[in-house]
Amino acid sequence: MSDIIHVRAEEIPPKHKDEHDGYAYVRRDLVPRNCTGNTLVSQYEIPPLKSAYPYHFHHKDEETFYILKGEGLLRTPKGEQIVRTGDVLFFPAGPEGAHKLTNTSSTETLVYMDFDVIHDLDVAEYPDSGKIGVWGKGINRVYLQENDVGYYEGE
């Protein structure tokens, strides 16, 4: 991609996700994955008392959040802490970058920008549920780690 991208968040169609109890979000991909080499910029809105994603970490991708509006509870390997408007949060690749952000308000939406350094292929782990996700190169799958099989099984 060699073009400059100039957008306004309100002009980007939102993607809604409300699949599971306790999880919901509205996402606008301002700089979409397919328009860049390794940058993704999205705006997220998390409804009251919800989280966008379960506790997880990436093996390759890095994430940076900038809280635009609201207050939330951030869980990391170092514990839990309150985050609020104006906070910048960086999550490195690997277990030390594990995170989950939950909107703690019962009335206000939590809004943040998510700046990602992405790779062609990434693996995410979900320590609480024992899942592993594989993303990129046409793959978008989640597996239970307990279903691990031997390398040559089925060959």
DSSP per position, 56-74: BEESS-EEEEEEEE-EEEE
Q: What is the pLDDT of residues 104-140, one digit of tens each?
A: 999 999 999 999 998 889 999 999 999 999 988 888 9
**Domains in the chain with CATH codes:** 12-120 (2.60.120.10)
The total number of residues shown for the chain amounts to 155
Query: What burial class does residue 73 get, using C-beta atoms within 10 Å of its C-beta: 0-12 exposed, 13-18 middle, 19+ buried?
Result: middle
Tell me which amino acid residue 93 is: A
Average pLDDT of the chain to the nearest whole number: 93
Strand 122-126 to 62-69 pairing: unpaired
Distance CA 123, CA 132 (A): 7
* Distance from the first to the final alpha carbon of the chain: 41
Q: What is the pLDDT of residues 40-70, one digit of tens each?
A: 999 999 999 999 999 999 999 999 999 999 9
Kindly tell me if the per-residue pLDDT of 1 is higher than 60: no
